[in-house]
Chain A
Amino acid sequence: MQSRWDIGEPEKPTINKDTEQLKSELLTLNMGPQHPATHGVLRIEIWTDSEIVAHAIPHLGYLHRCMEKHAENLDYRGVIPFVDRLDYLAAMNMEWTYVAAVEKMLGTEVPRRGELIRIMTAELQRIASHLMAFGTYALDLGAFSPFLYAFEEREKILRLFEEVSGARLLYNYIWIGGVWNDWTDEQLARVSAFCDTMEEEAKKYNELVSMNKIFVQRTANVGVFTLQDCFDYGATGPVLRGSGMKWDLRKNAPYSLYSEFDFDVPVGEAELGQVGDCWNRYYVRMKEVIQSIKIIRQVLEKLEPGSVMGKVPKVIKLPKGEVYMRHECPRGELGIHLVSEGDSKQPYRLKVKSPCFTHTSMLPRIAPGQMIADFVASVGSIDIVLGEVDR
Protein backbone atom coordinates (compact mmCIF):
# COMPACT_ATOMS: atom_id res chain seq x y z
CA MET A 1 0.00 0.00 0.00
CA GLN A 2 1.77 3.09 -1.23
CA SER A 3 0.59 6.48 -0.22
CA ARG A 4 1.42 9.73 -1.88
CA TRP A 5 2.92 10.92 1.35
CA ASP A 6 5.07 8.33 2.95
CA ILE A 7 4.36 8.65 6.62
CA GLY A 8 5.67 5.34 7.75
CA GLU A 9 4.05 2.19 8.98
CA PRO A 10 0.59 2.61 10.48
CA GLU A 11 0.34 2.26 14.19
CA LYS A 12 -1.26 -0.94 15.33
CA PRO A 13 -4.67 -0.60 16.93
CA THR A 14 -4.32 -0.78 20.65
CA ILE A 15 -7.85 -1.32 21.89
CA ASN A 16 -8.45 -4.83 20.68
CA LYS A 17 -5.74 -7.20 21.85
CA ASP A 18 -7.19 -10.13 19.91
CA THR A 19 -6.62 -8.52 16.54
CA GLU A 20 -2.89 -8.24 17.13
CA GLN A 21 -2.57 -12.00 17.22
CA LEU A 22 -4.76 -12.52 14.19
CA LYS A 23 -2.41 -10.59 11.88
CA SER A 24 -5.36 -9.54 9.80
CA GLU A 25 -4.76 -7.61 6.60
CA LEU A 26 -5.67 -3.97 6.66
CA LEU A 27 -8.55 -2.94 4.44
CA THR A 28 -8.35 0.40 2.68
CA LEU A 29 -11.56 2.33 2.81
CA ASN A 30 -12.32 5.67 1.26
CA MET A 31 -14.37 7.99 3.38
CA GLY A 32 -15.51 10.68 1.06
CA PRO A 33 -15.10 12.76 -1.03
CA GLN A 34 -18.89 12.74 -0.93
CA HIS A 35 -19.29 11.50 2.61
CA PRO A 36 -21.92 13.46 4.48
CA ALA A 37 -19.77 13.61 7.60
CA THR A 38 -16.88 15.38 5.93
CA HIS A 39 -18.54 18.80 5.58
CA GLY A 40 -17.48 19.37 2.03
CA VAL A 41 -15.29 17.35 -0.23
CA LEU A 42 -12.63 15.79 1.94
CA ARG A 43 -11.44 12.30 1.13
CA ILE A 44 -10.01 10.36 4.02
CA GLU A 45 -8.24 7.15 3.20
CA ILE A 46 -8.74 4.87 6.18
CA TRP A 47 -6.87 1.66 6.76
CA THR A 48 -9.17 -0.42 8.83
CA ASP A 49 -8.73 -3.52 10.87
CA SER A 50 -12.33 -4.78 10.96
CA GLU A 51 -14.20 -1.92 12.66
CA ILE A 52 -11.10 -0.25 14.04
CA VAL A 53 -9.22 2.47 12.24
CA ALA A 54 -5.53 1.72 11.99
CA HIS A 55 -4.52 4.76 10.04
CA ALA A 56 -6.18 7.72 8.36
CA ILE A 57 -4.77 9.87 5.59
CA PRO A 58 -6.68 12.99 4.59
CA HIS A 59 -6.46 13.77 0.88
CA LEU A 60 -7.05 17.39 0.04
CA GLY A 61 -7.53 19.44 -3.07
CA TYR A 62 -11.05 18.63 -4.21
CA LEU A 63 -12.12 22.20 -3.60
CA HIS A 64 -8.92 23.90 -4.66
CA ARG A 65 -9.68 27.12 -6.51
CA CYS A 66 -6.24 28.65 -6.66
CA MET A 67 -7.44 31.64 -4.71
CA GLU A 68 -4.01 32.83 -3.62
CA LYS A 69 -2.73 32.98 -7.19
CA HIS A 70 -5.95 34.58 -8.40
CA ALA A 71 -5.52 37.33 -5.85
CA GLU A 72 -2.23 38.37 -7.44
CA ASN A 73 -4.11 39.44 -10.56
CA LEU A 74 -6.90 41.33 -8.87
CA ASP A 75 -7.11 44.80 -7.42
CA TYR A 76 -7.38 45.04 -3.64
CA ARG A 77 -11.14 45.47 -3.69
CA GLY A 78 -11.63 42.60 -6.10
CA VAL A 79 -9.98 40.13 -3.73
CA ILE A 80 -12.77 40.47 -1.18
CA PRO A 81 -15.30 38.23 -3.05
CA PHE A 82 -12.60 35.56 -3.26
CA VAL A 83 -11.74 35.84 0.42
CA ASP A 84 -15.46 35.34 1.12
CA ARG A 85 -15.27 31.95 -0.48
CA LEU A 86 -12.56 30.68 1.83
CA ASP A 87 -14.81 29.76 4.69
CA TYR A 88 -18.24 30.19 3.23
CA LEU A 89 -19.92 29.58 6.59
CA ALA A 90 -18.10 32.48 8.23
CA ALA A 91 -17.53 34.85 5.32
CA MET A 92 -17.75 38.00 7.45
CA ASN A 93 -14.78 36.98 9.58
CA MET A 94 -12.76 36.09 6.48
CA GLU A 95 -13.46 39.45 4.87
CA TRP A 96 -12.64 41.32 8.01
CA THR A 97 -9.22 39.69 8.36
CA TYR A 98 -8.24 40.51 4.80
CA VAL A 99 -9.63 44.03 4.97
CA ALA A 100 -7.86 44.67 8.28
CA ALA A 101 -4.58 43.64 6.68
CA VAL A 102 -5.07 46.08 3.79
CA GLU A 103 -6.16 48.84 6.16
CA LYS A 104 -3.11 48.34 8.34
CA MET A 105 -0.84 48.91 5.35
CA LEU A 106 -2.93 51.76 4.01
CA GLY A 107 -3.23 53.44 7.42
CA THR A 108 -6.97 53.97 7.06
CA GLU A 109 -9.02 55.17 10.00
CA VAL A 110 -12.30 53.33 10.29
CA PRO A 111 -15.12 55.32 11.90
CA ARG A 112 -16.20 54.09 15.30
CA ARG A 113 -19.66 53.08 14.12
CA GLY A 114 -18.18 51.13 11.26
CA GLU A 115 -15.83 49.28 13.58
CA LEU A 116 -18.63 48.46 16.02
CA ILE A 117 -20.83 47.20 13.21
CA ARG A 118 -17.97 45.00 12.07
CA ILE A 119 -17.72 43.50 15.54
CA MET A 120 -21.46 42.92 15.60
CA THR A 121 -21.58 41.25 12.20
CA ALA A 122 -18.54 39.14 13.03
CA GLU A 123 -20.12 37.93 16.26
CA LEU A 124 -23.44 37.26 14.55
CA GLN A 125 -21.53 35.29 11.97
CA ARG A 126 -19.78 33.37 14.72
CA ILE A 127 -23.16 32.40 16.16
CA ALA A 128 -24.38 31.36 12.71
CA SER A 129 -21.26 29.32 12.13
CA HIS A 130 -21.44 27.60 15.51
CA LEU A 131 -25.12 26.87 14.93
CA MET A 132 -24.15 25.18 11.70
CA ALA A 133 -21.43 23.24 13.52
CA PHE A 134 -23.93 22.22 16.19
CA GLY A 135 -26.56 21.16 13.67
CA THR A 136 -24.28 19.18 11.41
CA TYR A 137 -22.49 17.57 14.33
CA ALA A 138 -25.77 16.26 15.67
CA LEU A 139 -26.58 15.16 12.12
CA ASP A 140 -23.30 13.25 11.87
CA LEU A 141 -24.16 11.41 15.04
CA GLY A 142 -27.61 10.50 13.80
CA ALA A 143 -29.91 13.14 15.26
CA PHE A 144 -31.81 14.99 12.58
CA SER A 145 -34.09 17.46 14.34
CA PRO A 146 -31.37 19.58 16.05
CA PHE A 147 -30.16 20.44 12.55
CA LEU A 148 -33.55 21.94 11.72
CA TYR A 149 -33.76 23.86 15.00
CA ALA A 150 -30.29 25.29 14.39
CA PHE A 151 -31.22 26.35 10.88
CA GLU A 152 -34.33 28.09 12.10
CA GLU A 153 -32.18 30.44 14.19
CA ARG A 154 -29.43 30.69 11.59
CA GLU A 155 -32.00 31.77 9.06
CA LYS A 156 -32.76 34.87 11.15
CA ILE A 157 -29.10 35.91 11.01
CA LEU A 158 -28.84 35.22 7.28
CA ARG A 159 -31.99 37.23 6.63
CA LEU A 160 -30.51 40.20 8.50
CA PHE A 161 -27.29 39.88 6.52
CA GLU A 162 -29.24 39.61 3.28
CA GLU A 163 -31.13 42.80 4.08
CA VAL A 164 -28.02 44.72 4.96
CA SER A 165 -25.58 43.40 2.37
CA GLY A 166 -27.68 41.78 -0.35
CA ALA A 167 -26.41 38.22 -0.15
CA ARG A 168 -27.00 35.34 2.19
CA LEU A 169 -23.59 33.71 2.34
CA LEU A 170 -20.97 35.55 0.30
CA TYR A 171 -21.52 39.06 1.46
CA ASN A 172 -18.78 41.37 0.18
CA TYR A 173 -20.05 43.57 3.01
CA ILE A 174 -16.94 44.59 4.91
CA TRP A 175 -15.06 46.97 2.66
CA ILE A 176 -11.68 48.59 2.88
CA GLY A 177 -12.34 51.62 5.10
CA GLY A 178 -15.58 50.52 6.69
CA VAL A 179 -18.68 48.59 5.80
CA TRP A 180 -20.90 48.84 2.74
CA ASN A 181 -24.26 49.72 4.24
CA ASP A 182 -25.45 50.99 7.56
CA TRP A 183 -27.89 49.07 9.75
CA THR A 184 -31.23 50.72 10.39
CA ASP A 185 -32.70 51.03 13.88
CA GLU A 186 -35.37 48.51 12.95
CA GLN A 187 -32.72 45.94 12.03
CA LEU A 188 -30.78 46.63 15.23
CA ALA A 189 -33.97 46.07 17.21
CA ARG A 190 -34.30 42.71 15.49
CA VAL A 191 -30.71 41.85 16.43
CA SER A 192 -31.59 42.64 20.03
CA ALA A 193 -34.69 40.45 19.83
CA PHE A 194 -32.61 37.70 18.26
CA CYS A 195 -30.17 37.80 21.19
CA ASP A 196 -33.05 37.17 23.60
CA THR A 197 -34.46 34.23 21.65
CA MET A 198 -31.00 32.80 21.00
CA GLU A 199 -30.27 32.59 24.72
CA GLU A 200 -33.45 30.59 25.22
CA GLU A 201 -32.65 28.43 22.22
CA ALA A 202 -29.14 27.71 23.47
CA LYS A 203 -30.62 26.33 26.68
CA LYS A 204 -32.94 24.20 24.60
CA TYR A 205 -30.07 22.86 22.51
CA ASN A 206 -28.12 21.93 25.61
CA GLU A 207 -31.11 20.07 26.97
CA LEU A 208 -31.83 18.39 23.65
CA VAL A 209 -28.32 17.42 22.58
CA SER A 210 -25.44 18.38 24.88
CA MET A 211 -26.71 16.59 27.97
CA ASN A 212 -28.39 13.76 26.12
CA LYS A 213 -27.03 10.44 27.33
CA ILE A 214 -26.73 8.97 23.82
CA PHE A 215 -24.85 12.02 22.57
CA VAL A 216 -22.54 12.04 25.60
CA GLN A 217 -21.78 8.34 25.16
CA ARG A 218 -20.85 8.95 21.54
CA THR A 219 -18.62 11.96 22.18
CA ALA A 220 -17.23 11.97 25.71
CA ASN A 221 -13.73 10.44 26.01
CA VAL A 222 -13.59 10.10 22.22
CA GLY A 223 -10.91 11.65 20.03
CA VAL A 224 -8.82 13.18 22.78
CA PHE A 225 -6.30 15.84 21.81
CA THR A 226 -3.92 16.50 24.65
CA LEU A 227 -2.65 20.02 25.09
CA GLN A 228 0.76 18.89 23.89
CA ASP A 229 -0.80 17.58 20.65
CA CYS A 230 -2.43 20.96 20.10
CA PHE A 231 0.89 22.76 20.59
CA ASP A 232 2.71 20.32 18.33
CA TYR A 233 0.29 20.73 15.45
CA GLY A 234 -0.49 24.39 16.06
CA ALA A 235 -4.19 24.05 16.75
CA THR A 236 -6.21 27.18 17.43
CA GLY A 237 -9.76 28.18 18.17
CA PRO A 238 -12.28 25.83 19.78
CA VAL A 239 -9.97 22.84 19.29
CA LEU A 240 -7.26 24.45 21.42
CA ARG A 241 -9.75 25.80 23.93
CA GLY A 242 -11.49 22.45 24.13
CA SER A 243 -8.14 21.01 25.20
CA GLY A 244 -8.03 23.40 28.12
CA MET A 245 -5.89 26.29 26.88
CA LYS A 246 -7.36 29.72 27.50
CA TRP A 247 -6.25 31.36 24.28
CA ASP A 248 -8.39 33.74 22.31
CA LEU A 249 -6.96 36.48 20.13
CA ARG A 250 -9.83 38.76 21.03
CA LYS A 251 -8.57 38.65 24.63
CA ASN A 252 -4.86 37.84 24.32
CA ALA A 253 -3.97 40.12 21.43
CA PRO A 254 -7.00 42.39 21.11
CA TYR A 255 -7.59 43.80 17.65
CA SER A 256 -10.19 46.34 16.61
CA LEU A 257 -12.20 47.48 19.65
CA TYR A 258 -12.36 44.13 21.42
CA SER A 259 -10.40 45.45 24.40
CA GLU A 260 -13.45 47.56 25.30
CA PHE A 261 -15.71 44.56 25.64
CA ASP A 262 -16.35 42.39 28.63
CA PHE A 263 -16.57 38.69 27.85
CA ASP A 264 -15.11 35.40 28.97
CA VAL A 265 -13.07 32.89 27.02
CA PRO A 266 -14.75 29.52 27.48
CA VAL A 267 -12.47 26.51 27.79
CA GLY A 268 -13.13 22.82 28.06
CA GLU A 269 -13.71 22.13 31.76
CA ALA A 270 -14.61 18.44 31.56
CA GLU A 271 -18.15 18.75 32.91
CA LEU A 272 -18.56 15.42 31.19
CA GLY A 273 -15.85 13.25 29.71
CA GLN A 274 -12.30 14.54 29.83
CA VAL A 275 -10.57 17.71 28.67
CA GLY A 276 -9.78 17.64 24.95
CA ASP A 277 -12.39 15.12 23.85
CA CYS A 278 -15.11 15.64 21.26
CA TRP A 279 -17.73 16.60 23.81
CA ASN A 280 -15.60 19.36 25.32
CA ARG A 281 -14.72 20.79 21.91
CA TYR A 282 -18.38 20.80 21.05
CA TYR A 283 -19.41 22.33 24.34
CA VAL A 284 -16.85 25.14 24.01
CA ARG A 285 -18.72 26.22 20.88
CA MET A 286 -22.04 26.24 22.70
CA LYS A 287 -20.51 28.39 25.42
CA GLU A 288 -18.98 30.72 22.85
CA VAL A 289 -22.44 31.40 21.43
CA ILE A 290 -23.46 32.81 24.81
CA GLN A 291 -20.32 34.98 24.94
CA SER A 292 -21.00 36.28 21.42
CA ILE A 293 -24.51 37.27 22.48
CA LYS A 294 -22.93 39.14 25.40
CA ILE A 295 -20.64 41.06 23.00
CA ILE A 296 -23.50 41.89 20.61
CA ARG A 297 -25.57 43.32 23.48
CA GLN A 298 -22.65 45.57 24.44
CA VAL A 299 -22.24 46.70 20.82
CA LEU A 300 -25.91 47.62 20.66
CA GLU A 301 -25.46 49.78 23.77
CA LYS A 302 -22.38 51.51 22.40
CA LEU A 303 -23.65 52.22 18.87
CA GLU A 304 -24.03 55.90 18.10
CA PRO A 305 -25.14 57.44 14.83
CA GLY A 306 -22.33 58.33 12.50
CA SER A 307 -20.55 57.40 9.33
CA VAL A 308 -19.70 53.78 8.58
CA MET A 309 -17.17 54.40 5.82
CA GLY A 310 -13.81 56.09 6.24
CA LYS A 311 -11.84 58.03 3.64
CA VAL A 312 -10.24 55.69 1.13
CA PRO A 313 -8.57 56.64 -2.17
CA LYS A 314 -10.51 55.65 -5.25
CA VAL A 315 -7.66 53.51 -6.56
CA ILE A 316 -5.99 51.63 -3.74
CA LYS A 317 -2.21 51.36 -4.01
CA LEU A 318 -0.34 50.01 -1.04
CA PRO A 319 3.20 51.06 -0.08
CA LYS A 320 6.00 48.56 -0.41
CA GLY A 321 6.04 46.16 2.49
CA GLU A 322 4.26 43.28 4.03
CA VAL A 323 1.80 42.66 6.81
CA TYR A 324 0.55 39.64 8.71
CA MET A 325 -2.90 39.94 10.20
CA ARG A 326 -4.55 37.30 12.32
CA HIS A 327 -8.07 37.26 13.63
CA GLU A 328 -10.05 34.90 15.78
CA CYS A 329 -12.51 33.25 13.41
CA PRO A 330 -15.16 30.73 14.46
CA ARG A 331 -12.86 27.86 13.50
CA GLY A 332 -9.61 29.26 14.81
CA GLU A 333 -6.99 31.80 13.91
CA LEU A 334 -7.05 32.95 10.32
CA GLY A 335 -3.85 34.58 9.20
CA ILE A 336 -3.47 36.75 6.11
CA HIS A 337 0.04 37.51 4.91
CA LEU A 338 -0.07 40.29 2.37
CA VAL A 339 3.00 41.40 0.45
CA SER A 340 2.98 44.53 -1.66
CA GLU A 341 5.60 45.57 -4.17
CA GLY A 342 4.62 49.21 -3.90
CA ASP A 343 3.02 51.35 -6.61
CA SER A 344 0.88 48.46 -7.77
CA LYS A 345 -2.85 47.99 -7.76
CA GLN A 346 -2.49 44.29 -7.08
CA PRO A 347 -1.03 42.35 -4.16
CA TYR A 348 2.34 40.76 -4.87
CA ARG A 349 1.51 37.77 -2.73
CA LEU A 350 -1.39 36.77 -0.56
CA LYS A 351 -0.90 33.84 1.76
CA VAL A 352 -3.69 32.47 3.86
CA LYS A 353 -2.99 30.54 7.03
CA SER A 354 -6.05 28.43 7.53
CA PRO A 355 -7.03 26.97 10.91
CA CYS A 356 -9.01 24.16 9.28
CA PHE A 357 -5.92 22.98 7.41
CA THR A 358 -4.08 22.61 10.70
CA HIS A 359 -6.96 20.75 12.25
CA THR A 360 -7.27 18.40 9.28
CA SER A 361 -3.62 17.48 9.69
CA MET A 362 -4.41 16.44 13.27
CA LEU A 363 -6.80 13.71 12.13
CA PRO A 364 -4.09 11.03 11.62
CA ARG A 365 -3.01 11.72 15.20
CA ILE A 366 -6.29 10.62 16.79
CA ALA A 367 -7.41 8.07 14.21
CA PRO A 368 -5.37 4.97 15.21
CA GLY A 369 -7.35 2.75 17.53
CA GLN A 370 -10.69 4.44 17.06
CA MET A 371 -13.84 2.79 15.86
CA ILE A 372 -15.04 4.12 12.50
CA ALA A 373 -18.14 5.61 14.11
CA ASP A 374 -15.95 7.37 16.67
CA PHE A 375 -13.74 8.67 13.88
CA VAL A 376 -16.81 10.25 12.27
CA ALA A 377 -17.50 11.93 15.60
CA SER A 378 -13.90 13.19 15.72
CA VAL A 379 -14.02 14.61 12.20
CA GLY A 380 -17.26 16.38 13.02
CA SER A 381 -16.00 17.80 16.28
CA ILE A 382 -13.09 19.72 14.77
CA ASP A 383 -15.61 21.44 12.49
CA ILE A 384 -13.64 21.86 9.30
CA VAL A 385 -14.81 23.69 6.21
CA LEU A 386 -13.08 22.41 3.13
CA GLY A 387 -13.27 25.69 1.27
CA GLU A 388 -10.75 27.00 3.74
CA VAL A 389 -8.54 23.91 3.74
CA ASP A 390 -8.08 23.82 -0.02
CA ARG A 391 -8.42 27.52 -0.86
Chain B
Amino acid sequence: MSTAVEQNSSFKNYFSGLFNGISTTLKGMWITFRYVWAVKPVSIEYPEVREVLPERARMRLFNDSQNCISCTQCAMACPVDCIYIASEKLPEGAEIKKTSNGQAIRLKLTQFTIDTALCCYCGLCTTVCPTECLTHSHDYEFSQYTIDAMKYDYLAPDVKAWRDRIVKA
Protein backbone atom coordinates (compact mmCIF):
# COMPACT_ATOMS: atom_id res chain seq x y z
CA MET B 1 0.00 0.00 0.00
CA SER B 2 2.75 2.42 0.91
CA THR B 3 4.60 1.88 -2.37
CA ALA B 4 1.45 2.72 -4.33
CA VAL B 5 1.14 6.00 -2.47
CA GLU B 6 4.77 6.91 -3.08
CA GLN B 7 4.40 6.28 -6.79
CA ASN B 8 1.34 8.46 -7.04
CA SER B 9 2.89 11.33 -5.17
CA SER B 10 5.49 12.17 -7.79
CA PHE B 11 4.69 15.18 -9.97
CA LYS B 12 5.07 13.34 -13.27
CA ASN B 13 2.94 10.41 -12.16
CA TYR B 14 0.20 12.75 -11.06
CA PHE B 15 -0.22 14.24 -14.51
CA SER B 16 0.26 10.98 -16.39
CA GLY B 17 -2.40 9.43 -14.13
CA LEU B 18 -4.70 12.36 -14.84
CA PHE B 19 -4.17 12.01 -18.57
CA ASN B 20 -4.64 8.23 -18.37
CA GLY B 21 -7.88 8.67 -16.45
CA ILE B 22 -9.36 11.16 -18.90
CA SER B 23 -8.27 9.29 -22.04
CA THR B 24 -9.50 5.85 -20.95
CA THR B 25 -12.81 7.31 -19.78
CA LEU B 26 -13.29 9.11 -23.08
CA LYS B 27 -12.46 5.89 -24.94
CA GLY B 28 -15.15 4.05 -23.01
CA MET B 29 -17.62 6.88 -23.50
CA TRP B 30 -16.96 6.77 -27.24
CA ILE B 31 -17.80 3.03 -27.33
CA THR B 32 -21.03 3.70 -25.48
CA PHE B 33 -21.85 6.75 -27.59
CA ARG B 34 -21.54 4.71 -30.80
CA TYR B 35 -24.56 2.74 -29.69
CA VAL B 36 -26.70 5.80 -30.37
CA TRP B 37 -26.56 5.28 -34.11
CA ALA B 38 -24.19 2.47 -35.12
CA VAL B 39 -25.82 -0.48 -33.34
CA LYS B 40 -29.34 -1.67 -33.88
CA PRO B 41 -31.46 -2.37 -30.80
CA VAL B 42 -31.41 -6.02 -29.78
CA SER B 43 -34.25 -6.03 -27.28
CA ILE B 44 -37.84 -6.69 -28.29
CA GLU B 45 -40.97 -5.12 -26.84
CA TYR B 46 -42.30 -8.25 -25.27
CA PRO B 47 -46.08 -8.33 -24.99
CA GLU B 48 -46.55 -6.80 -28.44
CA VAL B 49 -43.63 -8.49 -30.19
CA ARG B 50 -42.97 -12.12 -29.41
CA GLU B 51 -39.93 -14.16 -30.18
CA VAL B 52 -40.53 -17.31 -32.17
CA LEU B 53 -39.51 -20.17 -29.92
CA PRO B 54 -37.20 -22.86 -31.27
CA GLU B 55 -38.69 -26.20 -32.24
CA ARG B 56 -37.34 -28.00 -29.18
CA ALA B 57 -38.28 -25.35 -26.60
CA ARG B 58 -39.49 -27.01 -23.43
CA MET B 59 -42.49 -25.14 -22.09
CA ARG B 60 -45.71 -26.40 -20.45
CA LEU B 61 -46.30 -30.12 -20.76
CA PHE B 62 -49.26 -31.36 -22.72
CA ASN B 63 -50.65 -34.87 -22.73
CA ASP B 64 -52.72 -35.96 -25.68
CA SER B 65 -54.91 -38.32 -23.62
CA GLN B 66 -56.36 -40.07 -26.67
CA ASN B 67 -52.97 -41.59 -27.40
CA CYS B 68 -51.98 -42.37 -23.81
CA ILE B 69 -51.65 -46.07 -22.94
CA SER B 70 -51.26 -45.49 -19.14
CA CYS B 71 -47.84 -47.10 -19.06
CA THR B 72 -46.69 -44.74 -16.24
CA GLN B 73 -43.16 -44.58 -17.64
CA CYS B 74 -43.28 -40.78 -17.56
CA ALA B 75 -44.27 -40.78 -13.89
CA MET B 76 -41.37 -43.11 -13.07
CA ALA B 77 -38.85 -41.06 -15.03
CA CYS B 78 -39.95 -37.80 -13.42
CA PRO B 79 -37.30 -36.66 -10.90
CA VAL B 80 -39.75 -34.51 -8.94
CA ASP B 81 -42.80 -36.81 -9.10
CA CYS B 82 -45.18 -34.24 -10.51
CA ILE B 83 -47.17 -36.58 -12.78
CA TYR B 84 -50.18 -38.34 -11.28
CA ILE B 85 -51.63 -41.20 -13.30
CA ALA B 86 -54.45 -43.57 -12.47
CA SER B 87 -55.99 -46.19 -14.70
CA GLU B 88 -58.39 -49.12 -14.48
CA LYS B 89 -58.98 -52.27 -16.47
CA LEU B 90 -61.24 -52.04 -19.46
CA PRO B 91 -64.59 -53.78 -18.96
CA GLU B 92 -64.81 -57.23 -20.57
CA GLY B 93 -65.62 -57.23 -24.22
CA ALA B 94 -64.85 -53.59 -24.63
CA GLU B 95 -63.39 -52.44 -27.91
CA ILE B 96 -59.58 -52.03 -27.75
CA LYS B 97 -58.66 -48.76 -29.37
CA LYS B 98 -55.33 -48.04 -30.96
CA THR B 99 -53.03 -45.06 -30.66
CA SER B 100 -51.88 -43.11 -33.68
CA ASN B 101 -48.69 -45.16 -33.90
CA GLY B 102 -50.54 -48.47 -33.62
CA GLN B 103 -50.19 -49.47 -29.97
CA ALA B 104 -53.22 -50.99 -28.30
CA ILE B 105 -54.79 -49.10 -25.40
CA ARG B 106 -55.48 -51.86 -22.87
CA LEU B 107 -56.20 -49.67 -19.85
CA LYS B 108 -58.72 -46.95 -19.28
CA LEU B 109 -57.06 -43.73 -18.19
CA THR B 110 -58.97 -42.25 -15.26
CA GLN B 111 -56.56 -39.56 -14.16
CA PHE B 112 -53.68 -37.75 -15.78
CA THR B 113 -52.70 -34.69 -13.81
CA ILE B 114 -49.47 -32.74 -13.94
CA ASP B 115 -48.54 -30.31 -11.20
CA THR B 116 -46.96 -27.62 -13.34
CA ALA B 117 -45.78 -25.73 -10.28
CA LEU B 118 -43.64 -28.73 -9.30
CA CYS B 119 -42.46 -29.57 -12.81
CA CYS B 120 -38.83 -28.72 -13.51
CA TYR B 121 -39.13 -28.83 -17.32
CA CYS B 122 -36.26 -31.26 -17.69
CA GLY B 123 -37.90 -33.18 -20.51
CA LEU B 124 -37.12 -36.66 -19.17
CA CYS B 125 -40.80 -37.73 -19.27
CA THR B 126 -41.20 -36.83 -22.94
CA THR B 127 -38.20 -38.90 -23.97
CA VAL B 128 -39.49 -42.13 -22.43
CA CYS B 129 -43.06 -41.83 -23.73
CA PRO B 130 -43.60 -44.78 -26.11
CA THR B 131 -46.50 -43.21 -28.00
CA GLU B 132 -45.14 -39.66 -27.92
CA CYS B 133 -48.40 -38.35 -26.54
CA LEU B 134 -46.68 -36.40 -23.76
CA THR B 135 -44.95 -33.41 -25.27
CA HIS B 136 -43.71 -29.98 -24.36
CA SER B 137 -45.94 -27.33 -25.86
CA HIS B 138 -44.77 -23.82 -26.66
CA ASP B 139 -47.13 -22.23 -24.16
CA TYR B 140 -45.21 -20.25 -21.55
CA GLU B 141 -47.78 -17.78 -20.23
CA PHE B 142 -49.74 -19.62 -17.57
CA SER B 143 -49.37 -17.79 -14.28
CA GLN B 144 -52.20 -18.39 -11.84
CA TYR B 145 -53.51 -16.80 -8.67
CA THR B 146 -53.50 -19.99 -6.62
CA ILE B 147 -51.04 -22.85 -6.60
CA ASP B 148 -53.85 -25.39 -7.03
CA ALA B 149 -54.72 -23.87 -10.36
CA MET B 150 -51.30 -24.97 -11.61
CA LYS B 151 -52.46 -28.58 -11.54
CA TYR B 152 -53.64 -29.48 -15.00
CA ASP B 153 -56.01 -32.37 -15.44
CA TYR B 154 -55.49 -33.54 -18.99
CA LEU B 155 -58.83 -35.36 -19.05
CA ALA B 156 -60.83 -32.21 -18.33
CA PRO B 157 -62.79 -30.98 -21.34
CA ASP B 158 -61.31 -27.49 -21.34
CA VAL B 159 -57.77 -28.83 -21.32
CA LYS B 160 -58.69 -31.36 -23.99
CA ALA B 161 -59.72 -28.45 -26.15
CA TRP B 162 -56.06 -27.50 -26.38
CA ARG B 163 -55.48 -30.59 -28.44
CA ASP B 164 -56.83 -28.96 -31.55
CA ARG B 165 -54.65 -25.97 -30.84
CA ILE B 166 -51.44 -27.80 -30.01
CA VAL B 167 -51.44 -31.29 -31.55
CA LYS B 168 -51.28 -31.18 -35.31
CA ALA B 169 -52.82 -34.46 -36.35
Contacts and interface: CB of A to CB of B under 8 A. Distances in A.
Interface of A: 15, 74-75, 77-82, 84, 145, 152, 155, 159, 162-167, 170, 172, 181, 204, 207-209, 211-214, 221
Contact of A163 (B1, B31, B56, B79): B56
B54 A166 contact: yes
B77 A78 contact: yes
Given A152-B42, A166-B54, A81 B24 contact: no
Contacts of B121: 167, 170
Given A15-B1, A163-B54, A181-B56, A81 B79 contact: yes
Contact of B120 (A166, A170, A207): A170
B124 A78 contact: yes
Interface of B: 1, 4, 17, 20-21, 24-25, 27-28, 31-32, 42, 53-58, 77-79, 120-124, 136
Nearest to B79: A78
A213 B27 CA distance: 11
A159 B54 CA distance: 9
Nearest to A79: B79
A167 B25 contact: no
A300 to B, nearest CB: 21
Does more than half of chain A's interface fall in helix, strand or loop, or is it mixed? helix
B25 A162 contact: no
A144 to B, nearest CB: 10
Contacts of B31: 204, 207-208
A360 to B, nearest CB: 25
A167 to B, nearest CB: 5
Contacts of B42: 152, 155
A79 to B, nearest CB: 7
Contact of A74 (B57, B79, B123): B79
A162 B24 contact: no
Given A78-B77, A172-B122, A213 B57 contact: no
B124 A172 contact: yes
Given A78-B77, A81-B124, A152-B42, A212 B56 contact: no
Nearest to B136: A166
A15 B5 CA distance: 13
